[in-house]
């Protein structure tokens, strides 16, 4: 997933976050020709590369959804609704790329919650949440992928609150396939599917749908999910992976 497809709160800004101590303790982002980041092995710096803009249909869909929600925020939402989103933003602690506590604006939370839901043909949630906490992640989620069928099968806990409420949603993304020996992955991602909550009974598990990237046996594929509640709250992303079977 390129920057256009990431939620507004997670896009790579054209600047670096720097943490000072006796010197510089940690950096994240880009300055001049260098990009600073951290992975499981520690901090690192690499040459900055400027991504091309192929202007694909997927990129266009993302930009259209973001533009639609931006316009809706300013022209459709009432002042009271915007105030409610701003109160939610100032009440819910988030983490930035340095792992520090930060708070997003109500506008960022509104886009973060609704842009991908709109791409899945879900109605946007305009009223700001009144419960000031992020939804829980699903610790049981898992997937299998078949080269023959090119389908992803995703199992999840369909007794969670989102899964048993009308308007609840799990949004899932697939990463591009990698060599099996790779141990971490940061993109690109593509929107794979959405799973709607069902009241009563719960969302149907497993979810089976065609992969968005073609896969081959032995490749390792990462996926990530977000849970969105009916009141518009959306979880932090949580990732999981599997090796493609025959």
* Whether residue 67 has pLDDT greater than 80: yes
* Of 241, 172, 157, 233, nearest in space to 202 by CA: 157
Span 72-94, pLDDT tens digits: 999 999 999 999 999 999 999 99
CATH code at 142-243: 2.60.40.10
In this model, does residue 2 exceed pLDDT 50? Answer: no
| pLDDT tier at 50, thresholds 50, 70, 90 | low
How much is the pTM?
0.78
User: Which pLDDT belongs to residue 85?
Assistant: 97
What is the pLDDT confidence band of residue 111, given thresholds at 50, 70 and 90?
very high
**Distance in angstroms (rounded) separating the CA atoms of residues 211 and 215:** 8
Least confident of 18-22, 28-32, 97-101, 167-171: 18-22
Please state, in angstroms and rounded to a whole number, the distance separating the CA atoms of residues 111 and 197. 21
CA atoms within 13 A on the CB side of 127: 6
Q: How confident is the model at residue 117 (pLDDT cuts 50, 70, 90)?
A: confident
Stretch 133-145: mean pLDDT: 97
Domain with CATH 2.60.40.10 in the chain: 142-243
114 pLDDT above the threshold of 80: yes
pLDDT at 7 over 60: no
Q: What is the mean pLDDT of residues 108-115?
A: 94
């Amino acid at each position: 997933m390129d920057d256009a497809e990431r939620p507004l709160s997670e896009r790579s800004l054209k600047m670096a976050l720097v943490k000072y101590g006796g010197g510089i303790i940690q950096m994240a982002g880009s300055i001049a020709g260098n990009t600073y980041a951290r992975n499981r092995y520690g901090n690192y710096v690499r040459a900055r590369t400027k991504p091309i803009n192929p202007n694909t249909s997927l990129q266009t869909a993302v930009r259209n959804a973001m533009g639609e929600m931006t316009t809706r925020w300013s022209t459709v939402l009432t002042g009271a609704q915007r105030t409610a989103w701003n109160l939610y933003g100032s009440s819910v602690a988030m983490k930035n790329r340095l792992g520090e506590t930060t708070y997003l604006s109500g506008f960022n939370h509104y886009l973060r919650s609704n842009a991908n839901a709109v791409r899945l043909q879900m109605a946007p949630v305009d009223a700001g949440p009144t419960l000031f906490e992020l939804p829980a992640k699903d610790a049981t989620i898992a997937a299998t992928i078949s080269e023959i069928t090119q389908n992803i099968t995703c199992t999840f806990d369909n007794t969670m609150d989102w899964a048993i409420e009308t308007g609840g949603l799990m949004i899932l993304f697939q990463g591009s396939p990698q060599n099996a020996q790779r141990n971490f992955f940061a993109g690109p991602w593509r929107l794979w599917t959405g799973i709607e909550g069902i009241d009563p009974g719960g969302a149907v598990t497993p979810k089976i749908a065609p992969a968005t990237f073609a896969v081959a046996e032995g490749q390792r594929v990462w996926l990530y999910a977000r849970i969105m509640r009916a009141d518009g709250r959306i979880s932090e992303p949580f990732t999981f992976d599997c090796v493609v079977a025959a």
